[in-house]
Amino acid sequence: MTGIALARRFYTDAVLPLMPPGLPHAAARLGSGSDVLGLDDATSRDHDWGLRLTLLVPDGRAPEIDALLELRLPESFGGSPVRFGTTWHPEPRHQVEVTTASAFAISRLGVAPSETLDASEWLSLTGQAVLEVVGGPVFADTDGALTRMRERLEWYPDDLWRYVVAADWARLGQELPFLGRAGQRGDDLGSGIIAARLTRVVMHLGFLLERRWPPYSKWFGTMFAGLPRAGAAADDLGRALDAGDWREREAALVAAIERMHALQREVGLPTADAATEPFWDRPFRGVGPVPELVRDSIRDAAVRALPHGVGSIEQWVDNVDVLVNADARRAFTAAWRGVLGGRR
């Protein structure tokens, strides 16, 4: 049985009968864990997997409901232990996370997902953080609070979407010609490293163009391959990583980039005649004026004033200790806006 199926049965048959009658609540499989995204398998079950559930209740009721469940839940359900330790709480206890909708969102996002999130707050979010709120299945939502919260987090506001798309194109333009230059000088390892960096940028761009939140690295490739349109570039990107020389590597990567450019045209964002063009008089490819075209389509003055080519925090930070820490993400995002605010 998958983690989602187990959680659904656990809520319906064990948790719901213990809830005070008429208490507004939402029940879902949210937060961390491969099963939240439906990607768990036998390997997933060696830690932090089992009877896990998120239960969102009104302000002030969480301690009472948590204590009630600890007292009255059975020792096992469906052949699985109800109380077990996790990597963040090794002492055995039930793993129903009882909290409020706002507190749960803040624990993942660092901000309450109101209708007035500002640019810094949006850009401090990682795709994984948002997926921990919107990615898992909802089993009950009696007052609609969780549903409304998830709807507000569905996607970036339009101009911020354009801003982060332009940032990925800028990153491609910064390094694409270096792939060939390193290879030309006999540095095939360096050329391959650049190709790998750019492959990830292309994949991130694919998620943005499909308006899908990207997960963290373990599931990044799996979910990219499942994207309805951008996932078609997976073969090109695989050839770029497997290539034996820089010319083959560049050709495959350029093919993937042109696929993204075509998808960008399809979704209604600005495009050029082609995504890539010759890089000066050298035998390498560079990126055309795509980042500038996308950036120039931004109408909101506050978004237009954001530092060019920087984007969201997951576009310029890859340190895990920062990315999983909501407070750190917000602090770093505020800092770069202050430091880079004058750079255009």
Pairing, β 285-287 against β 276-278: antiparallel
Round to whole Å and give the CA distance between 116 and 131: 20
**pLDDT band, residue 167 (cuts 50/70/90):** very high
Round to whole Å and give the CA distance between 62 and 43: 33
What secondary structure does DSSP assign to 120-176, as a single string? HHHHT--HHHHHHHHSSPEEEESSSHHHHHHHHTSS--HHHHHHHHHHHHHHHHHHH
Round to whole Å and give the CA distance between 325 and 276: 37
**pLDDT band, residue 32 (cuts 50/70/90):** very high
Q: Residue 23 above 70 pLDDT?
A: yes
- DSSP SS3 for 99: strand
Round to whole Å and give the CA distance between 71 and 15: 12
∠ CA 110-301-325 to the nearest 5 degrees?
15
User: Which spans in 32-135 are helix H?
Assistant: 62-72, 101-109, 119-123, 127-134
pLDDT attached to residue 1: 84
pLDDT digit string, tens, across residues 121-155:
999 999 999 999 999 999 999 999 999 999 999 99
Round to whole Å and give the CA distance between 258 and 129: 30
pLDDT digit string, tens, across residues 219-267:
999 999 999 999 999 999 999 999 999 999 999 999 999 999 999 999 9
**pLDDT band, residue 339 (cuts 50/70/90):** low
Long-range contacts of the stretch 221-226 (C-beta < 8 A, 24+): 222/39, 223/37
Q: Residue 338 above 80 pLDDT?
A: no
**pLDDT band, residue 342 (cuts 50/70/90):** very low
Round to whole Å and give the CA distance between 127 and 215: 6
Q: Tell me the backbone φ, ψ of residue 63, rounded to 5 degrees.
A: -60, -40
Q: Look at residues 312, 297, 318, 310 and name the one whose alpha carbon lies nearest to residue 341.
A: 310
Q: Tell me the backbone φ, ψ of residue 140, rounded to 5 degrees.
A: -160, 145
Q: Residue 99 above 60 pLDDT?
A: yes
Cα torsion at 326, 119, 57, 3 (round to 10°)?
Answer: -60
Express as a percent the part of the chain with pLDDT over 90. 90
What secondary structure does DSSP assign to 294-306, as a single string? HHHT---HHHHTS
